[in-house]
Structure formats: C-alpha cells, structure tokens
Structure 1
C-alpha cells in the first residue's frame, strides 16, 4: 500500500539587537524548502518553495513559524499550491502553527491554494499571539481549475491571544461536503474565497466598526485587537484585488 509524504519546515525569527531580524532557524525537508530573500527595513523575508507537486492524497505537510524578540518576519510562497489526487489512500493534510511575541510582527502572505478535481485536503492553521503582537494573515482558496469539478476542501483557522480564543472557524466545501456549501448562505456560486486576519494593538484602543467592503466582502471586528476580512469572488484575480485593498488600508 502506498503512503504519502511526511515533511515539516520550521522558521524562527528574532530581533538582532541592531534594528534588524535574524533567522537562527530556517529548515525544511522534502517538498518544503524555505529560502531567505532580501530583507527590507529590518524585516526578514522568507519564501516557501515547493520542491515537489502537491500536496497529494496521503501527504502530511506542516510548517511552524515564530517571530520573537522584536522580530519582523514576512513569509510568502513562490507559487500557488495545488491540491491533487494521489496514489496513496486518504486525505492530504497541511498544518501551519504560527506564534508571535508581544514585541514582534508576522506577515503570513502565501499564494492561493487551488483544490483540483479529485483531491481531498484538510488545512489547519493555528495562530498564537502575545499581547502587543502584530499580525497580517491572508488565506485564498480557489475551488476549481478551468473545466474541472472542485475537490473536497476542509479548512480551519484558530486565533488565540495570550491563550484566549478570539476566532475558531471551519469551512467545508467542494464535492463531498455537506449540502448547501454552494448555496446563497455560503459561497453563492463563487469559486474563490479568502480572508485577511489582522491584529494590531491600536485596534483595541480604536475599535473598527463592522462594514461591507463591496458586494461580496465584509469586515468584522473580533474581541480584542483583531479584525477579520472575508471575501468571495468569481476568480483568484478579483479575490486578490479585494484583499490587497483591505491589506493596504488596514495593515
């Protein structure tokens, strides 16, 4: 019986005491290859490069990133991730564990996740913030490639501040998901969905008000210093445009 790939990557960023950010840990294995790129204004930048296609059925990939001691860290990916069916049995899994200290900032801005026909993927993202931490996290999911039917996607995002839960939400969509996922109460026929999670200490001092950001996008304040922008769009390009505007205005 075929089994999937097991691989992990770890990124640790720390302030270097001179206004910059050091990366004492930058490690990956298998298809996960983190690479440092040029730093800008004291911020360390890391690109996650996919050294193999996937994730495929049966794969289990995990990434842990930590920003501490005054670090400023941005993590992005070199290309979109495409969930594909594989020869191994079972769903593929991706797990992301993100930690940010109170005097640090993390910008987690990967490219889109595309759910190809026949794929089955479970994504789990956990974010732990200390008081005073700054975060910008973007998730974008495209449910189908042109001319295909969508795969099955399960996605869960949790946010905790000093151990207190601020957000815990889960989405299931695609073929095999409970009925109604494509109806007007959920996706309404759209195939691109995304969210932008922002945490800033100033949001607690001057809370933002819930409001619409267009026909299919909204901003919702969370308890404490965080807000969540959620958006739907017919394609990835239009989704990115909406989230980029929100990131520029709020982040």
Structure 2
C-alpha cells in the first residue's frame, strides 16, 4: 500500500508474468502505487513488455520504494522505464531506499533494462537489487548510475546487487559513492574521476556449456565470468551516453 508519513512516501509496485498457454505471456498482476506507475506496452513475439513511469518526484529523502517482478515458468518479460530515475534531497535528511526484487522461475526469462539512476547533489539513496533465479532461468539485467547532474557534485549513493541461481549466490557486490562514502571511492582503484558506473548481468544455461572468458573490454570495462551460469560486465565512463554505449557493445558481443 502506498502512503505518506510526514513528508515520507512508501510505495510498492508488483509485476507477475505467466505463460498464457497460447505461446505468449500474460500479466495477471500489474499493480503500481504512488510514484511507481506501471504500463503494459506492445508485446514482442512471446515477450510481454512493461514500462515503469514516474508518476511523481521520487525517491526523496526518507522515501521507501519497492518494485518486484516474478516471471513464472515459460513466461518472458521485458521491463524498462520511461525516463531516468532522479534521486533528490527531501525535506527530511533521512536516507531514501529503493528496493528491487526479481524472481525468475526455471524456464522463465526476464530482461530488466531501466534507464539510469541519477544521484543529484544533496540526495542520500540506498538501492538494493536482488535477483533469485531458477537453475534454468534466463536474466539480462542492466544497472546504470550517474553521479550528479551536469556540472554538480553527486549526492550519496549506496548500491547493492545480489544474484542467486538455484539458491546459490553467484554475485553480491556493493558500491558506495559521494559524500560520506568510504575514502578512495573516486580514486584510481574505483571510479578514477568518472561520473557514470554500470553493470550488465547475463545468466542462462548457455553459460554453463560455454563459460565466458575474463577480459578487458577497452580501457573502462571488464567482463568476468561468475561462479555459476552467468557473466558480469562492469564499466565506468565520463557520462551516461558513453556508459550505455559500452554496455550495449558488451551485450552485443555476448549475444554472438
């Protein structure tokens, strides 16, 4: 249920994708609240498509947003967003939270491809993305964070990404940036002065048969096989446009 406590907003959105028995994907649950509005768009073949549309400014200080998606066996779902998510300071100095929970059953497929998250000056946001996959599930997940709008310093951003396959953790990483983050976050061992950072995770049975080789993708991106049928691409770039280009090139390479 969505609600407002003082100046804080709590809202939840849920998606459930299910095979419709005719070769397509149905969406028996498509429910958004407050700033998390969900819109079904035109399907692509057997794949259902959903767009997350921001219905109000969020997340602000003290807000707590939760977005969950479940893809059942035989279903295919693509989720994107209509625009970037902008983390802003609120009237309260409390930390904001944005939790994403993804559950893909054995034989299901999810493409989770939202637009960038922008950490505006003065904001304080903690993002948590957790994906639980069945042994034969497929996932394409992209996360992109931009530290500050043009010409401004970033807010504080803590982002944690966890992926589990058949109950086994294959990825659990956290990045902290901006004021109050551990020293060195902008140094040569982490962002090296770049203002856009992103991850691309691909998981599926094909990576068990043909594991990817670890390698650099130019100077600012790296491909790393995970301890399971999955691969991680991490990249940094001066801006959102060049970050997207790096991740798109990596996705194209892995699709060959």
TM-score range, shorter chain: over 0.9
* Number of equivalenced pairs: 251
Match of 2:106 in 1: 102
Give the Cα separation in 2 of the matches to 1:69 and 1:2.
41
1:64 to 63, 68, 83: 68
8 Å Cα contact 1:118/1:150 also seen in 2: yes
8 Å Cα contact 1:2/1:88 also seen in 2: no
Q: What runs of 5+ residues in structure 1 fail to find an aligned partner?
A: none
Match of 1:160 in 2: 164
TM-score (norm 1): 0.98
Does structure 1 residue 23 correspond to structure 2 residue 27? yes
Greater than 2 Å deviation, 4+ residue runs: none
Does structure 1 residue 234 correspond to structure 2 residue 242? no
8 Å Cα contact 1:2/1:89 also seen in 2: no
Q: What runs of 5+ residues in structure 2 fail to find an aligned partner?
A: none
Give the Cα separation in 2 of the matches to 1:156 and 1:27.
25
Residue 2 of structure 1, CA deviation: 3.3
SS in 1 for 2:34: coil
Match of 2:52 in 1: 48
Give the Cα separation in 1 of the matches to 2:58 and 2:252.
31
CA shift digits 1:201-222 (9 cap, x unpaired): 1111111110011111000000
CA shift digits 1:55-75 (9 cap, x unpaired): 100000000101112000000
Match of 2:82 in 1: 78
Give the Cα separation in 2 of the matches to 1:249 and 1:211.
12
Give the Cα separation in 2 of the matches to 1:163 and 1:69.
17
Match of 1:6 in 2: 10
Name the Cα RMSD after superposition.
Answer: 1.0
SS in 1 for 2:6: coil
Give the Cα separation in 2 of the matches to 1:160 and 1:179.
30
CA shift digits 1:85-130 (9 cap, x unpaired): 0012311100000000111100000000000000000000000000
Match of 1:199 in 2: 203
Match of 2:220 in 1: 216
CA shift digits 1:128-158 (9 cap, x unpaired): 0001100000000000111211100000011
8 Å Cα contact 1:3/1:89 also seen in 2: no
Q: Map residues 121-132 of structure 1 onto 2, 5 A cutoff.
A: 121-132=125-136
Residue 246 of structure 1, CA deviation: 1.3
Give the Cα separation in 2 of the matches to 1:222 and 1:175.
31
2:175 to 163, 171, 178: 171
8 Å Cα contact 1:34/1:48 also seen in 2: yes
SS in 2 for 1:243: helix
